Structure 1
Amino acid sequence: MILLISDLHLEQERPDITRAFLHFLASRARQADALYILGDFFEVWIGDDAISPFQREIAQALRELSEAGTRVYLMHGNRDFLIGKRFCREAGATLLPDPCLVEMGSERVLLMHGDSLCTLDVGYMKLRRWLRNPISLFILRNLPLSTRHKLARKLRSESRAQTRMKASEIVDVTPDEVLRVMTEKGVRTLIHGHTHRPATHILQINGQAARRIVLGDWDKQGWALQVDQQGFHQAPFAL
């Protein structure tokens, strides 16, 4: 069995989500062969050198899961793209590239956070290209902690304000980009998060059936996608 989750946006201000996640790790995740976390695991991450006691507690819980036999995989999101090797070592997790091809059963599946599929959001895509540039990443990681804290608050505030103002289709994935990426990677199943719109979308690619599975965010309830011999099943659960 494999479990996939995303968009928990963990922060001290939401102890309900933290409690639910720690319970999830100690119970359901212990039965899984692998746990994939597809981005926006934390609400904000300003660098591995600024890890807080709260974040260290999460890392320790992930390590305990890993040491119990469940492989843990982590992908960057748009909120926590500065997570680095140090945190992953502490958490016993493997950092995945975005996008990433994996084998699930007899099928090759494409995993993404999902923000790179929102190509109609031109302003965000420009910012994303700048933030993910290796030179920009080097500069960001070497800024004073106080400056990084201020920058994170500013970006977070602006992101929330702009999302409220943008049309629904702009902050969702672009259908043509989904088809392009899936065709390029040669897959019939894409799994991603980011949009907070859990669903399974049935597609056609070159005359063949395909699907895009969108993971749910953890807010009013939690979500997990389970992959087993019966297929792909996503369901919410109470926090």
Structure 2
Amino acid sequence: MSTLFIADLHLCEEEPAITAGFLRFLAGRARNADALYILGDLFEAWIGDDNLTPLHQTIARAIHALVSSGVPCYFIHGNRDFLVGRRFSRESGMILLPEVQRLNLYGRELLIMHGDTLCTDDTGYQAFRKKVHNPWIQRLFLALPLALRRRIAARMRANSQAANSQKSVGIMDVNPGAVVAVMEQYQVQWLIHGHTHRPAIHTLQANGKPAWRAVLGAWHQEGSLIEVTPQNTELQFFPFQV
């Protein structure tokens, strides 16, 4: 019995090794899980469900095959793919979850999220996030011609990379107070998230008791997952190729 969590694959045509590693994972390790949770940034960018590229179609088919094998797959939007919608959900078989989800796994209460909302010290990003999550702005963007959306997305990625290069390491990490606040809001002792690309399991205090924050790694040179079993919660790494 085990449930698997992954995040921050940032799949794109320019990184075929990561895509190959993910496809191998879906056809292999993931088939033995009780469920798979993808906690955002599965894709490097997502400009609408109508932009179904060969990569997107390949990933949709592979996830659908996993779901058809009996392993449900759940998805929380990340800051790169927050526009993944119902059409891709249907084609892939993924179940879309809200940005914060409480789970009971094997008798243990835990909270899952992408993690960007915890980075409250980065006020510039949080202001930008508030704008792009406005439903009206999203509708206007999705109504634009696909070619124009591609140009806008490329410009936004370039601007984001330039802005991040000027920020301190600490400002782009989670705020400890925000972590405790959300864990106490949902009354949990375990939190699993991605986004920061700083894999680790941290100990802290929440709800007046010991608590743990498990952070997923990004899929750069190797895969990263968190496995939750009735006995343990473990951060694991594995090669793209076996």
TM-score by length of 2: 0.97
**1:5 alignment counterpart:** 6
Number of matched residues?
239
**1:38 alignment counterpart:** 39
- 1:18-57 equivalence runs, <5 A: 18-57=19-58
Native 8 Å contact 2:113 2:193 kept in 1: yes
Task: Tell me by how many angstroms 1:123 deviates.
Answer: 0.7
**1:70 alignment counterpart:** 71
**1:156 alignment counterpart:** 157
**2:168 alignment counterpart:** 167
Partners of 2:131 and 2:85 in 1: how far apart?
18
**2:187 alignment counterpart:** 186
Native 8 Å contact 2:187 2:207 kept in 1: no
Partners of 2:27 and 2:199 in 1: how far apart?
24
Partners of 1:177 and 1:206 in 2: how far apart?
13
Partners of 1:109 and 1:208 in 2: how far apart?
14
2:147 alignment partner AA: S
- 1:10-159 equivalence runs, <5 A: 10-159=11-160
1:219 alignment partner AA: H
User: 1:186-228 CA deviation, whole Å, 9 max, x = no partner?
Assistant: 1111100000000011011242010110011000111011111
Q: Matched residue of 1:219: which SS? A: coil
Q: Matched residue of 2:202: which SS? A: strand
Partners of 1:213 and 1:236 in 2: how far apart?
14
Higher deviation after alignment, 135-144 or 188-197: 135-144
- Give the percent of matched residue pairs that are identical in Structure 1 and Structure 2: 47
Task: Tell me by how many angstroms 1:230 deviates.
Answer: 2.4
2:177 alignment partner AA: D
**1:238 alignment counterpart:** 239
Q: Matched residue of 1:140: which SS? A: helix
* Unaligned 5+ runs, structure 2: none
Partners of 2:148 and 2:189 in 1: how far apart?
43
Native 8 Å contact 2:5 2:225 kept in 1: yes
**2:205 alignment counterpart:** 204
TM-score by length of 1: 0.98
Asked if residue 217 in structure 1 is aligned to residue 182 in structure 2, the reply is: no
Task: Tell me by how many angstroms 1:160 deviates.
Answer: 1.2
Partners of 2:109 and 2:207 in 1: how far apart?
17
Q: Matched residue of 1:49: which SS? A: coil
Runs of 4+ displaced beyond 2 Å: none
Partners of 1:207 and 1:229 in 2: how far apart?
24
Task: Tell me by how many angstroms 1:125 deviates.
Answer: 0.3
Q: Matched residue of 2:172: which SS? A: coil
User: 1:138-157 CA deviation, whole Å, 9 max, x = no partner?
Assistant: 11111111121011101111
